Amino acid sequence: MSKYVVKCTKCGDVQEPYALHCPNDDSLLRTEYSKKQIEPTDMPGIWRYIDWLPVNGIIEEGSGRPVTYKSEGFAKELGLQELYITFNGYWPEKGAFIRTCSFKDLESFPTMQRLIERNEERILVVASAGNTARAFAHVASITGRKLLLIVPEKSMHRLWTINDDTSSICTVTVKGDYYQAIAMAEKIAAKDGFVSEGGARNVARRDGMATVMLDAVLTTGSLPHHYFQAVGSGTGGISAWEASMRLLEDGRFGNNMPRLHLAQNMPCAPLYSLWTGTELTGHCPEEMHDDVLYNRKPPYSAPGGVKDALDDTNGLIYGITNKEAEDAQKLFEETEGIDILPAPGVACAALIKAVETGEINTGDSIVLNITGGGQKRLEEDFTTKKLDVTLTVSPNDPDSEKKILEKVSEFFNLGVY
């Protein structure tokens, strides 16, 4: 029997293992694993949870994993008795070794491993507002796989690495926002010789992020009452929901479905707007505490998407202001003793708001996903270096696509496109 099958969440038809779409509808596909009870392994990093990852082998070097611990300082400030932090970043003192300081590593490693297993020789195309690009650059520099990153020009400060060899990474910046970078990447990925990583529709990315919930539950021994995370596309929330369904089926961790508490950064909060029916106005993403949380076209209404996850878990979406995020980030750092990225500050603010409004009880079991942190701590142990920009294009330039193809051909010595 195969390790897993990939099924449509609406019609239930089995698709080929690397499929991104069902031919019958617009549903997300989902992995169904033959092993119904997960057994953590002694493999390094994320591969500890290989039972529920859609891969057969591993990339041995460079992978980290989520680390869950019971909060003391932040929990005391909020009056919470059972607050668990799942930390995704670099914090050796806690056993956390994600060297990009972002949980996007959890997506990049299984995605790259699947490409290796299918003998994929085409150039991988990744669009990102920064953290995803950094994660894929990290794994590409380890494996030597060809990677084309397409990112907004204003996000380049997030593209750094601790690895020496970046010769397999071609970086193109776009004078625009994340959505314009995605649109450009889709055009390039459709060309011969290129392959898209698949975004929210890639089960390897979602099941990689699902290891956050797996780590939390296997550490505490039971499914939590509540799960908090800051989101852009909402894919991390979908992943937590899918992991919870598998853990319920496992049967050893209780029978309650965790309630999803997803947080977006106002005023650039499309999911919050869709969920609440509130029309938002503002300059996006310029007015955000963290623009990595801005995604103009999230997978909200597709079967198996964000709305279904919220409906099934009686979930909520919070709109968090910059001031609320900044204050919450500062409070977390002061009480827990580690620096975090701006995005999880939004999740911390949502947790504070949930306490204030009575959405959670002080004795409830809560998992707070710190989606990135420890960059200052990492810089004590490693030297970081910025990725080089190969080309900058304007989305309004009719020749931008041609310029990218020519530059990529030159960069990888491929001949003329």
Task: Name the pLDDT band for 398 (thresholds 50, 70, 90).
Answer: very high
> What is the average per-residue pLDDT within 278-306?
90
Average pLDDT over residues 125-138: 94
When pLDDT is averaged across residues 122-138 and rounded to a whole number, the result is: 95
**Edge-to-edge strand list for the sheet holding 147-152:** 194-196, 123-127, 147-152, 169-174, 391-393
Residue 82 φ then ψ, to 5°: -130, 55
d(CA 13, CA 15): 6
For residues 144-162, average pLDDT: 95
Residue entry with tokens 């680390």: 67
More confident residue, 178 or 304: 304
Question: H or E element: which one contains 212?
Answer: helix 211-220
pLDDT at 416: 59
Average pLDDT over residues 184-207: 95
Residue 286 has pLDDT above 90, yes or no: no
* Strands in 115-234 per DSSP E: 123-127, 147-152, 160-161, 169-174, 194-196, 226-230
Query: What number is the average pLDDT over the span 58-79?
Result: 97
What value does the mean pLDDT of the chain take? 96
Residue with tokens 């380890």: 142
- pLDDT of 1 strictly over 70: no
Please provide the distance, in angstroms rounded to a whole number, between the alpha carbons at the two ends of the chain.
43
* Token pair for 123: 């150039």
Whether 417 has a pLDDT exceeding 80, the answer reads: no
Q: What is the per-residue pLDDT for 291?
A: 87
**pLDDT of res. 178:** 84
pLDDT bin (cut points 50, 70, 90) of residue 210 is very high
Query: How many CA atoms, within 13 angstroms, populate the side-chain half-sphere of residue 118?
Result: 14
- Tell me: pLDDT of 108 over 70: yes
Distance CA 169, CA 137 (A): 7
Residue the block writes with tokens 């797996």: 214
Q: Which pLDDT band holds residue 146 (cuts at 50, 70, 90)? A: very high
User: In this predicted structure, what is the pLDDT of residue 173?
Assistant: 97
pLDDT at 367 over 70: yes
The yes-or-no verdict on residue 374 having pLDDT over 80 is yes
> Among the residues of 304-399, which ranges form H helices?
306-313, 322-336, 342-357, 375-381
% of the chain exceeding 90 in pLDDT = 92
Rounded to an integer, the average pLDDT of 21-37 is 96
pLDDT at residue 287 in the model: 86
Q: What is the pLDDT of residues 375-389, one digit of tens each?
A: 999 999 999 999 999
CB 145 within 8 A of CB 112: yes
| pLDDT for the residue numbered 414 | 86
Domains of the chain by start residue, with CATH = 67-102+204-379 (3.40.50.1100), 123-192+387-411 (3.40.50)
**What are the beta bridge partners of residue 106?**
none
Tokens 């392959």 correspond to what residue?
Answer: 195
